[in-house]
Amino acid sequence: MPPRIAHILATSLALQATAQTVAPSSFAASKAIPVPALNSAVDNMKTVPPMATYPVSVKNKSTLSTIYSDWASFQDGAALVFKADMDVDCDGIDYRCDGNLDGQPLTNWGALSAYEVPFIVIPNKFLEANPTATPGNNVAAVICNNKMFYAILGDTNNNDPQVTGEASWLLSRACFPEAGLNGNRGHDEPDVTYILFTGERAVLPTTALNDKYITDFDKLRSTGDQLVTSLLGNLGIPLLAPGSTAHDNQGGSGTDSHPGPDDDSDFDAGASNRLPSALTALFVVVVLVLALDQI
């Protein structure tokens, strides 16, 4: 194959790789969960574990985020909690994402796809200080922009200084679909709540993920809903009753249950636009290849 055509084909594959295929509804919390009440309960946190306070950004060292452990002693639904901003992490197989100037090809427990996996990041110093609480692939609930999604603990931050408030491309754009977030543009307000469930019982099993992808989003959602329901019980916060005016945890109107597999009403507008764009680009590339092959 001529080098010019090989280069064009490589470009087309890169364009295909930017197409996000996982809808936010795939990892959204049940609409029966009272997100505002849970988020309000976070404001009463006081207990601080070792190595728990960090700036939210390398550029903003004055705004600090503290990881609290008030809920970490619960038998069921135990969790660490912090509020921070949300920067975009593209480490893993998609480390060349738009704007990512310092990406790494690996994440802590593999090479996760930032385009396909909702994951969050914690400072590496905190992981080292609390290894049994956060063994990796822990399920997390993230409250952002009046919505709640489930994620896994997928990576750690090793910047100087280490910071809090990072999430994968997929999760970041699900939270803030209109903001045009990328590897160099995050959500700067420290108003995102991260609830990281602790211990081995909160770890997503290997039957539901591998070192690159989540293979069973139903398991992620069911585990997340179970953990959050247990946490709510510990806090004395009831679930929303069926038929009530439920808060939509995906950012739109709806009922108390998860959407069905064909319900794409909550799909990230940015993501849905990327997929047709990538396919259009691929079509153009194929036409160019055929034309060049005749030269």
Q: What digits encode the pLDDT tens for the residues 3-33?
A: 555 544 444 444 444 445 899 999 999 999 9
Beta bridge partners, 28, equal: 149
110: which 2 tokens? 């593999």
pLDDT over threshold 90, residue 189 = yes
Please check whether residue 204 is in contact with residue 218, taking contact to mean a CB–CB distance below 8 angstroms.
no
pLDDT over threshold 80, residue 287 = no
pLDDT over threshold 70, residue 83 = yes
pLDDT over threshold 90, residue 81 = yes
Mean pLDDT over each residue of the chain, to the nearest integer: 83
The conformational region for residue 115 under phi > 0 = left, psi -120 to 50 = alpha, else beta, is alpha
Distance CA 190, CA 212 (A): 29
Higher pLDDT: 119 or 288? It is 119
pLDDT over threshold 50, residue 110 = yes
Mean pLDDT value of segment 132-154? 97
Domain ranges in the chain are: 1-20+269-295, 24-267
Q: What digits encode the pLDDT tens for the residues 253-274?
A: 333 333 333 333 333 333 333 3
Of 26, 31, 25, 27, nearest to 239 by C-alpha is: 31
* Contacts with 79 (C-beta within 8 Å, 6 or more apart), sequence order: 71, 72, 141, 195, 196, 197, 198, 202, 227, 231
Distance CA 23, CA 269 (A): 10
88: which 2 tokens? 């975009």
Distance CA 232, CA 256 (A): 16
How far is Cα of residue 83 from the mean position of the Cα atoms in its chain? 15
pLDDT over threshold 80, residue 202 = yes
* Contacts with 115 (C-beta within 8 Å, 6 or more apart), sequence order: 17, 18, 19, 20, 22, 94, 97, 168, 169, 170
186: which 2 tokens? 């995050």
124-128, 139-143, 282-286: least confident range: 282-286
